[in-house]
Structure 1
């Protein structure tokens, strides 16, 4: 950041503050934005041989953008990561151009590098059930085994992110039939809680030796602190080895499985979008691993011709 002019540094900071306060961007997103745009501004300083003030940023050309992208690729930045960086730079430039009153065509017209999107790989229904039924065999301590089973049941039964499940507090217990979840970007959604999930969490609560009240985390580590996501990742890794499942059988795969299995059962794509908390329907479509033929079958059954 030392290579960036004070005016650009201030502008970047104001943009980041706006992204957090107005757009509701998560802390991790803000950190990524700061790094991506900061690296871009630093490159332009080195590329032009002098710190680039706001007026200089208005004169960024297509050639400058190509030079930045070539530099990033030569430094080992993959196409997917470069596309993310370019998206952050474009978002910053839209804001800056509106504030400063200039035309950001050179930046906004820059094409994102093409890359193969990695499709999520959910578990088969029997594999998801086996994971939940087997995970509690990985720990000899009854309450820890019940905890791990309860977390995985929430991921698969409610489509929660691991951060959302571990973000539950004692105030959420006993689990109601409907949970209000605050997801990415502060987006709130309502999630029905199946009886099997409520029972699984209740079984963990009965066995847990730590007080589970108020704003304290609902799911605890063995020493009583907040449960680390890594612990769930590790126990799933041991379980998938025992079951002979691939390395893609991760906590996030349970959420993928929730969405895919609902759609396979004839669930409405927009309803699943709401349950997952996706802002875009296209994100939900990419999240599910249902083939086109099956999607058409679901469509024809739910939208019969007159």
Structure 2
């Protein structure tokens, strides 16, 4: 008697690269978080987190481990953030830099003003006394992102945390064609890794296919 065939591992799942957010989707999520922040203290953190995630293009593992000192000094919020990536730190000694926009710096100022945070403390923590001294985990970050997508009526199954990381460098490349800038933003050693990561060659091939047909 033969055993019944096992279901495919990817049955019902969306596989492949997760797409970046579009500028319109970014604006919508940001608007919803701003509205929520007027009545929900947690949304003040979420707005700052969303903005920092977009501006820095950091991996989730680096984003959740930011400390207050990474983005602020006793004089105020930094414009340039610099970190050593957790994943590639041993292979790439060069730190990664990111610029925080005026919008992001303002959301950080509002967030940091909600309570006294020492410079050595974690930047993005959980809510309540129990979790206020622990940084968010990557799974918590994903749950937050999933909630933002649902609020914006976007299907969470189509996205992942790498969607946040891909959004800004993909937009920069689309607007300027500058792949080197995207590489520096992502902290990639190889430009080929950047091409693969943001799918530039695939996007260019599809664009050509739109212009030519049999």
The CA distance in 2 between the partners of 1:132 and 1:271, in whole Å, is: 24
TM-score (norm 2): 0.72
Partner of 2:118: 213
Q: Report the CA distance between 1:269 and its aligned residue.
A: 0.5
- Which whole-Å CA distance do the structure 2 matches of 1:229 and 1:136 have between them? 23
CA deviation map 1:9-41 (0-9, x unaligned): xxxxxxxxxxxxxxxxxxxxxxxxxxxxxxxxx
Q: Which residue matches 2:51? A: 153
Give the deviation of 1:294 after TM superposition.
Answer: 8.8
- Distance across 2 between alignment mates of 1:196 and 1:267: 25
The equivalent residue for 2:141 is 232
| TM-score, scaled to structure 1 | 0.52
The answer (yes or no) to whether the contact 2:18–2:160 under 8 Å persists in 1 is no
Q: Contact conserved, 1:181 with 1:189, CA < 8 A, in 2?
A: yes
Query: 1:274: how far off?
Result: 1.1
Tell me how far apart the structure 1 counterparts of residues 197 and 57 of structure 2 sit (CA, whole Å): 12
Q: Secondary structure at the match of 1:265?
A: helix
1:133 Cα offset (Å): 2.4
Q: What residue number does 2:67 align with?
A: 169
Q: Which has the larger radius of gyration?
A: 1
Deviation readout 1:53-81 (Å, 9 max, x if unpaired): xxxxxxxxxxxxxxxxxxxxxxxxx9xxx
Q: Deviations over 1:225-248 (max 9, x none)?
A: 222333332222222223221223
Distance 1:266 1:214 in 2: 36
Q: Distance in 1 between matches of 2:102 and 2:198?
A: 24
Task: Select 1:196's aligned residue among 103, 123, 134.
Answer: 103
Give ranges in structure 1 of 5+ residues lacking alignment. 1-77, 79-116, 297-306
SS in structure 2 at match of 1:185: coil
The structural deviation recorded for 1:221 is: 1.0
| Larger RCO (CA within 8 A; separation ≥ 6) | 2
- C-alpha change, 1:234 and 1:141, in structure 2 (3 Å) is farther
1:34-113 equivalences under 5 Å are none
Residues 83, 97 of structure 2: 8 Å contact kept:
yes
Assess, with a 3 A threshold, how the Cα gap between structure 1 residues 139 and 197 changes in structure 2: closer, same or farther. closer
Question: By how many angstroms is 1:262 displaced?
Answer: 0.8
The answer as to whether partners of 1:155 and 1:251 remain within 8 angstroms in 2 is: no
Q: Which has the higher helix share?
A: 1
Q: Distance in 1 between matches of 2:23 and 2:97?
A: 24
User: Aligned Cα RMSD in Å?
Assistant: 2.7
